[in-house]
Amino acid sequence: MAASGYRYRRIVERLLSDELLPIFPAVHLVGARGCGKTTSATRVADAVLDLSEPGTRRAATESPDGLLAASHGTVLIDEWQEAPEILGAVKRAVDRDLEATPGRFVIAGSVRAAHQAATWPGTGRLIRVRMYGLAHTEMEGTDAYDPVARFFAGDTDGYTRSEWDRARYCDAIVRGRFPGAMRFGEAARDRWFASYVEQLAERDAAQLTLRSPQAPKLRAVLDSCAARTGQLLNKQAVARDSAVDVRTADAHVSLLEDLSVVVRIPAWHTQRVKRLTRSPKVHVMDPGLAAHLLGADARALSLSERLVGQLFETLVVTEILPHLQASSTPTKLFHARGTDGKEVDLVLERHGSIVGLEVKSSENVGRRDARGLMWLRDITGDAFHMGAVLYAGQWPFELDDRIWALPISTLWQPPHATS
């Protein structure tokens, strides 16, 4: 499938235009390089200041306040890290605006602000929004559909037979979510990913730290995270894989997280249940990048039960995250694992209500596959809203009380209306 991705309406664009910019004066858009930040921000802006352009950068350096004063409407400030002086001007513009005019600025670029807390002027002034790679709801043109809200509504009516099968999911995994990579065939896409990783390790990482990391070590840690995507984050094992000490491994994982390349999913816990692990899971933020780092094409993926299980879970995680960012109701994502080995891949928590999700790469599932969800239901009681085994098969059906088997594609294919 060849696709540039740029013609799709993104979930974050709706969030910016409908909810944030009508209220807040400034928004800071962060996310992995190549996820489409500039394209989406340009669509909601009236004027663009691209600080990677020499002339604009010079103006921002020499007269940042004057540059902003000459720009009207909603102004996108792109690649702000090329002239950090512009952020002080944004601060002053926001502070001087007694009417708190909404929708003044959208700022995109490096996320190194997290490492410059002492000098970062955006605290209390910029609403931070994280952008992810293309979700399948965006690819399918169903970006207004929120599967997470549907889960919490507890409405299982209308789900019908899916047209997706395991092979199609494997193709979707290796294709990934970066708009720039999706338009290529397999060989060109591999070259794109290789170049992406090289720039990430050799250039982008240096923007986030005062001490530039050694690119080979950072790359080794990323390779280890890819091998462990969908698994508990074992820092000692990552250090061993990467031939670095544990402190270096931990720092490099944090750096990759700041670059929006990996994400840690925290462990769910409750005071009512004492025997729960506290270790987070790690996921590479793009399943195609993970597959590339593992040297797996769609066929190789389908032949390895271990890899396909890990990457199916990563596929689901990366589909859900954009919806959580855009949700007007705060919703947290966890995984759950007891010290006795019982586990649930994903736990969504919203206002005390729990939704559990198990991810299976099989095209056939049964009640046995829902044992983790039954355990979660039993320990959470009335807080358990529903559970779903998301699988590669085609039919939705009920497995147990409040627990369903649903095709993975229900995450992006809205149910049919029922009378």
**What does the pLDDT look like over 304-319, one tens digit per residue?**
999 999 999 999 999 9
Say what the pLDDT of residue 93 is.
Answer: 93
Distance CA 385, CA 377 (A): 8
Asked whether the beta carbons of 36 and 13 are under 8 A apart, the reply is no
Asked whether the beta carbons of 49 and 76 are under 8 A apart, the reply is yes
Distance CA 351, CA 361 (A): 30
| Coil/strand/helix, residue 343 | strand
Q: At 18, list the tokens.
A: 């409908």
Asked whether the beta carbons of 318 and 177 are under 8 A apart, the reply is yes
Question: What average pLDDT does range 386-405 have in this prediction?
Answer: 96
Please give the radius of gyration of the chain, using alpha carbons only, rounded to the nearest integer: 22
Which one is predicted more confidently, 8 or 103? Answer: 103
Question: What average pLDDT does range 347-374 have in this prediction?
Answer: 96
Residue 80 has pLDDT above 60, yes or no: yes
Domains identified in the chain and CATH numbers? 11-131 (3.40.50.300), 136-411 (no CATH)
Between vectors from CA 13 to CA 352 and to CA 75, what angle results, nearest 5°?
Answer: 120
Per-residue pLDDT band at 158 (split at 50, 70, 90): confident
Say what the pLDDT of residue 6 is.
Answer: 52
Residue 417 has pLDDT above 90, yes or no: no
Asked whether the beta carbons of 228 and 294 are under 8 A apart, the reply is no
Say what the pLDDT of residue 117 is.
Answer: 44
Say what the pLDDT of residue 328 is.
Answer: 87
Distance CA 260, CA 256 (A): 6
Say what the pLDDT of residue 98 is.
Answer: 79
**115-119, 251-255, 412-416: which has the minimum mean pLDDT?**
115-119
Distance CA 76, CA 385 (A): 41
Residue 124 has pLDDT above 70, yes or no: no
Residue 74 has pLDDT above 90, yes or no: yes
| Coil/strand/helix, residue 47 | strand
Which one is predicted more confidently, 400 or 338? Answer: 400
Note the pLDDT tens digit of each residue in 12-71.
999 999 999 999 999 999 999 999 999 999 999 999 999 999 999 999 999 999 999 999
Distance CA 5, CA 25 (A): 29
What's phi and psi for 348, nearest 5 deg? -100, 130
Distance CA 298, CA 367 (A): 28
| Coil/strand/helix, residue 178 | coil
Question: What average pLDDT does range 189-195 have in this prediction?
Answer: 96
Mean pLDDT of the chain: 90
Per-residue pLDDT band at 84 (split at 50, 70, 90): confident
Say what the pLDDT of residue 226 is.
Answer: 97
Say what the pLDDT of residue 340 is.
Answer: 83
Strands 262-265 and 332-337: unpaired
Say what the pLDDT of residue 415 is.
Answer: 85
Question: What average pLDDT does range 140-148 have in this prediction?
Answer: 90
Asked whether the beta carbons of 140 and 168 are under 8 A apart, the reply is no
Say what the pLDDT of residue 254 is.
Answer: 92
What are the Cα distances from residue 283, in Å, to 57, 67, 257, 261, 279?
36, 41, 10, 9, 13
What are the Cα distances from residue 168, in Å, to 66, 293, 301?
53, 20, 12
Question: What average pLDDT does range 247-252 have in this prediction?
Answer: 93
Per-residue pLDDT band at 280 (split at 50, 70, 90): very high
Say what the pLDDT of residue 274 is.
Answer: 66
Residue 211 has pLDDT above 90, yes or no: no
**31-45, 117-131, 324-338, 361-375: which has the minimum mean pLDDT?**
117-131
Say what the pLDDT of residue 5 is.
Answer: 40
Residue 2 has pLDDT above 50, yes or no: no
Residue 121 has pLDDT above 60, yes or no: no
What's phi and psi for 249, nearest 5 deg? -60, -45
Does the pTM surpass 0.85? The reply is yes
Say what the pLDDT of residue 212 is.
Answer: 67
The one-letter code for the residue type at 252 is H
**111-115, 198-202, 276-280, 290-294: which has the minimum mean pLDDT?**
111-115
Share of the chain above pLDDT 70, in %: 92
Say what the pLDDT of residue 25 is.
Answer: 94
Say what the pLDDT of residue 125 is.
Answer: 76
